Structure 1
Amino acid sequence: MTTGEGPQRAGGWAAAVGQRLGLGRLLPLGGPADGAWIAERAAVAVLRGAMAEQERDGVLGRLRIAVAAPDQAPEPEVEPPPSALPPGPLRIVASMSALSGRPLPAAADALRSALFTAARDRLGLVVAEVDVRVTELLDTPPERTSPTPVEVRGARATEDAGRAAAGVPGVVTLTRTLGHPVHTDPGRVRVELATDPAHRALDVARAVRGAVAAAVEGRPSVAVLVTAVVERDRVTGLD
């Protein structure tokens, strides 16, 4: 039976699926005991921003992040979000366009080192290796451009866990890409949120885990999913 609301509901469902797929892989932040994950889209945006500040002899192209050895990754000590990757060391694969006439190994090594540092210091990713491939040679120095700022729609904190998470320094807003921003099961809580780029995502996630565990009766196991890293003025509204 078809109703007048059918197309609208279908459109909403399709938008929700597209939003979820747009997150990319759910990457582990820290190690097996940290109970934190970050959307690949969010991680890539932070790394691109960091590279735009530092690049000199090349331009970062395609960038992908995955667990380096998934078969050897340890089991998480906290139940992960649906389809999240296991908490093993990561491998970053990046392509770059390099300026011709300059030593290519030096340009690739500089980008490799910068990606390692940004992944560790700005996000808290544990990176085992960075594979940089030069895919294009440029005749003139590349034009410097800044990545387009990301916008995110916030979600209201309506329960103790959500309010505790939202009050942690570095949390910009709760989000609801996977559904409700706070998902609860007996003995377990999962919180979905966006963090401020001025704070390392892993540090914020750890603080959120502690705050939520203390705020909820029974001190449940807490998992955190960072879906975006944005400035506070990029939050467009609250659901």
Structure 2
Amino acid sequence: MAPERQTATMRQVGLGRLLPLGRLEHGTWITESAACGVLSRATNGLSGIRVGTMRIRLVDPQAASEPSVPAPFTALPPGLLRIEAEFSAPASQPLPDSAEGLREALFTAASERLGLEAGAIDLHVTNLLENPTPKAGPRPDTTFPPPMPEPGTPGRSHQGHACIAGQQASTSTGHRLAALAAAVPGVSLMPGLAGTPMPRIGQTSAPSVRITDSNDPPGRHVQIELATDETHRALDVALSVRTAVATAATADAPGPVTVAILVTAIEPAKE
């Protein structure tokens, strides 16, 4: 394995579980930690409820579909997701009411703020609070473990194509695609991720772009890793970037172009 590809692989493993974002045809993924952060913040308006550990996994790994485009390394295949959350509830309020309010807030945020296809929400109460304190800022008890992929559901990455003629061309093309992606509304601070080094646009690092050209069969796959801001729905931003990049990447491509988007972080909305 080439050193740059090994670095990219290790980087993506370090990102933890990568969840399908949207439907099969969308070709978009998001890190579990980014999704859980948004979901947790969506519960801040629930009186007395404290969300603790949260995890997201496939409802049924065996029912998952093959991705419509080459997926990021370790990414879960498209399928309905199960959100699991531990929480503390106020003792003064009926527990079923607290659980139902939390479940509704999570379902709404998953759909409207992120674009996740949530099929189930499992809640586990860990404590009843006699005198819950008012919420103020991030809660230290909220944790999102950086897990490895689901057992039996390995990431279905097809990035084994050799970067033959496209390797040299990928630097200039990558810079162009990165600048294009960074200009899409909702794209936020960019992580300096694996792939061809990208320029800085103003004070913001450009998105990470990985281009893989193949000759047999001829084609090009582009993977974009980026961050979004919470004032925009994550899936909408990702799809806008995907459309813009897919069009621009065809100019010097050896064949048909596919694009995958990975949202690695979501910047909280400023209050």
Deviates more, 1:117-126 or 1:175-184: 175-184
1:102 to partner: Cα distance: 1.7
SS of the residue aligned with 1:172? coil
The structure-2 alpha-carbon separation of the partners of 1:93 and 1:232, relative to structure 1 and needing over 3 Å to count, comes to closer
C-alpha distance in structure 2 between counterparts of 1:113 and 1:34, whole Å: 25
Q: 1:74 aligns with which of 52, 61, 65?
A: 65
Q: 2:221 aligns with which of 188, 195, 198?
A: 188
1:48 to partner: Cα distance: 1.3
Q: Runs of 4+ in structure 1 displaced over 6 angstroms?
A: none
1:129 to partner: Cα distance: 0.4
Q: 1:222 aligns with which of 259, 267, 270?
A: 259
1:10 equivalent in structure 2? none
1:118 equivalent in structure 2? 109
The structure-2 alpha-carbon separation of the partners of 1:172 and 1:24, relative to structure 1 and needing over 3 Å to count, comes to same
2:163 equivalent in structure 1? none
SS of the residue aligned with 1:79? coil
1:105 to partner: Cα distance: 0.8
C-alpha distance in structure 1 between counterparts of 2:233 and 2:177, whole Å: 21
C-alpha distance in structure 2 between counterparts of 1:179 and 1:214, whole Å: 20
1:177 to partner: Cα distance: 3.6
1:85 equivalenced with 2:76 (yes/no): yes
1:142 to partner: Cα distance: 3.1
Contact conserved, 1:47 with 1:119, CA < 8 A, in 2? Answer: yes
The structure-2 alpha-carbon separation of the partners of 1:173 and 1:215, relative to structure 1 and needing over 3 Å to count, comes to farther
> Which residues of structure 2 form unaligned runs of 5+?
1-6, 140-172, 197-207, 214-219
C-alpha distance in structure 1 between counterparts of 2:133 and 2:194, whole Å: 38
* Alignment: residue pair count: 209
C-alpha distance in structure 2 between counterparts of 1:232 and 1:61, whole Å: 21
Q: 1:51 aligns with which of 39, 43, 58?
A: 43
TM-score normalised according to structure 2 size: 0.72
SS of the residue aligned with 2:188? strand
1:94 equivalent in structure 2? 85
1:106 equivalent in structure 2? 97
Sequence identity percentage: 45
1:207 equivalenced with 2:240 (yes/no): yes
The structure-2 alpha-carbon separation of the partners of 1:125 and 1:232, relative to structure 1 and needing over 3 Å to count, comes to closer
Q: Deviations over 1:104-155 (max 9, x none)?
A: 011011101100000110000000000111111111023313228xxxxxxx
C-alpha distance in structure 1 between counterparts of 2:74 and 2:134, whole Å: 38
The structure-2 alpha-carbon separation of the partners of 1:73 and 1:164, relative to structure 1 and needing over 3 Å to count, comes to same
> Which residues of structure 1 form unaligned runs of 5+?
1-12, 149-156, 234-239
Contact conserved, 2:231 with 2:269, CA < 8 A, in 1? Answer: no
Q: Deviations over 1:157-189 (max 9, x none)?
A: 952221221111111143234444111112110
2:126 equivalent in structure 1? 135
Contact conserved, 1:28 with 1:87, CA < 8 A, in 2? Answer: yes
Contact conserved, 2:188 with 2:267, CA < 8 A, in 1? Answer: yes
Q: 1:170 aligns with which of 174, 182, 186?
A: 186
C-alpha distance in structure 2 between counterparts of 1:178 and 1:69, whole Å: 31
SS of the residue aligned with 1:228? strand
1:5 equivalent in structure 2? none
